[in-house]
């Protein structure tokens, strides 16, 4: 019969932009097969979250953290995407409550025979100023109150490695002899550990007496098959090494000639595929460099034709942008003429101002003399 253990803890307050606080409470429960929690076995978690504050909360996930190494070992997430109009979250109203359950694999115990952990809840950020400033949409709130689960390593040998045995709910390593091996959590004797333990027509291979039957590329020497050690470009015939005679477009694999399958941008050299080194005015195809045929207003770039983007004072020559010196000279002459015109206008303006100022002065003197008379 499955039982569920609930551990109730008080969570701290979540600060929000308005300066008020949302406090919430949680409870965490779990159930294991036959009420026994075993390392690496499946566990079902039950999480209850209550909003005891005055503001709405948007719940998107929960993590369980191993307090020894501060690493996450269990997690539940909603597929929350802040950029979608429809927010895939669980909205927790004030005084509201949600319940979730999910299954994970148990990690190893971190304190003797106990798993000590703490929960962390992932809540969305509702403060638009914080989102704009930090470009974050959610926050993780972890709690310092530790929770714990009693764990065991095994109930039988099936939970242990092949070289271990389940003793008092712990996996204990087997200590086999020098001529023994472990199988099904037991130490068994090898058939042999040397040739002297086998028949004359047998050899001890991998601790088993095997009839000597050499491969085609081996020869017998002192009850042992030894390789002929032919070179990679040789093949074996009648227990001898003979030279392979491959074509120029072949390569050697497993002592046989195989046709090369070079890509379009490769060529064959010395029985291997090598990359083509084409110029900018060429492209690779059919295992060779082919000339590009760009039109007059295109240039060569990265082994392809691209449209030219010349400036107004440039012209197209040999598929490139070149300075149009007649146009540049004409432009300079026009700019010079404009500068001269501006200079003469400035001088005329100054002369006009001086003449006008002189006339004003003479007028003032005349008026002054008339007043004195």
149 or 144, higher pLDDT? 149
Instruction: Determine how many CB atoms are found less than 10 A away from the CB of residue 198.
Output: 19
- Cα–Cα distance for residue pair 7/149, rounded to 1 Å: 10
Residue with tokens 């993780």: 140
How far apart CA 327 and CA 269 sit, in angstroms, is 52
CB-CB contact of 145 with 120 (8 Å): no
Q: Could you report the per-residue pLDDT of 205-239, keeping only the tens digit for each?
A: 889 998 888 887 887 777 777 888 888 788 888 77
* pLDDT above 90 for 368: no
Closest CA to 156 of 146, 140, 167, 147: 167
pLDDT in tens, 160-169: 998 999 999 9
Residue 295 CB partners (closer than 8 Å, separation 6+): 305
Give the per-residue pLDDT at 215. Answer: 82
Task: Break the chain into its structural domains and give their ranges.
Answer: 5-150, 160-211, 308-342
**Separation CA 282–CA 293 (nearest Å):** 9
Out of 9-13, 57-61, 123-127, least confident range: 9-13
Residues 221, 209: Cα–Cα separation, whole Å = 17
Rounded Cα gap, residues 25 and 4, in angstroms:
19
Average pLDDT over residues 233-252: 81
For residue 141, the cross-strand partners are 121
Domain 5-150 class in CATH: mainly beta
Residue 37: is its pLDDT beyond 60?
yes
HSE (CB half, 13 Å, CA atoms) of 270? 2
Distance between CA 357 and CA 355 in Å, rounded?
A: 5
Decide if pLDDT at 9 tops 60: no
pTM of the model: 0.45
Residue 370 has pLDDT above 70, yes or no: yes
Helix (H, G, I), strand (E, B) or coil at 93: coil
Which pLDDT does position 85 carry in this prediction?
56
Distances in whole angstroms, Cα of residue 56 to Cα of each of 87, 97, 151: 14, 11, 37
The CA–CA distances, whole Å, from 129 to 58, 60, 123, 138 equal 17, 20, 16, 13
pLDDT at 49 over 50: yes
pLDDT digits (tens, 9 = 90+) for 177-213: 989 998 889 999 999 999 889 888 788 888 999 888 8
């Amino acid at each position: 019969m499955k039982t569920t253990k609930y551990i109730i803890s008080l969570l701290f307050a979540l600060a929000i932009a308005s300066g008020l606080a949302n406090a919430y409470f949680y409870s965490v429960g779990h159930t294991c097969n036959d009420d026994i929690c075993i390392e690496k076995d499946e566990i079902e978690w039950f999480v209850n979250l209550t909003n005891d504050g005055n503001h709405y909360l948007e719940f998107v996930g929960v993590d369980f953290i191993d307090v020894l190494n501060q690493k996450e070992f269990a997690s539940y997430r909603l597929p929350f995407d802040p950029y979608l109009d429809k927010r895939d979250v669980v909205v927790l109203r004030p005084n509201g409550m949600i319940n979730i359950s999910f299954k994970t694999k148990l990690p190893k115990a971190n304190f003797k025979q106990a798993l000590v952990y703490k929960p962390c809840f992932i809540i969305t950020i509702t403060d638009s100023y914080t989102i704009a400033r930090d470009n974050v949409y959610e926050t993780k709130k972890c709690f310092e109150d530790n929770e714990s689960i009693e764990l065991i390593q095994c109930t039988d040998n099936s939970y242990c490695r092949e070289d271990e045995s389940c003793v008092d709910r712990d996996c204990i390593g087997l200590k086999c002899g020098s001529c023994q091996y472990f199988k099904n959590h037991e130490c068994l004797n090898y058939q042999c550990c040397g040739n002297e333990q086998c028949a004359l027509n047998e050899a001890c291979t991998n601790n088993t007496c095997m009839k000597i039957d050499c491969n085609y590329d081996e020869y017998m020497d002192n009850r042992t098959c030894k390789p002929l050690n032919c070179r990679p470009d040789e093949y074996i015939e009648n227990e001898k090494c003979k030279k392979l005679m491959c074509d120029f477009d072949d390569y050697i694999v497993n002592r046989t000639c195989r046709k090369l399958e070079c890509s379009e941008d490769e060529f064959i050299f010395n029985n291997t595929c090598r990359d083509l080194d084409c110029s900018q005015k060429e492209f690779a195809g059919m295992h060779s460099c082919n000339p590009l045929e760009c039109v007059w207003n295109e240039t060569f770039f990265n082994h392809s034709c691209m449209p030219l983007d010349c400036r107004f004072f440039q012209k197209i020559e040999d598929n490139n942008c070149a300075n149009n010196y007649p146009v540049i000279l004409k432009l300079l002459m026009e700019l010079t003429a404009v500068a001269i015109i501006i200079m003469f206008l400035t001088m005329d303006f100054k002369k006009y101002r001086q003449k006008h100022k002189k006339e004003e002065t003479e007028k003032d003197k005349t008026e002054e003399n008339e007043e004195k008379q």
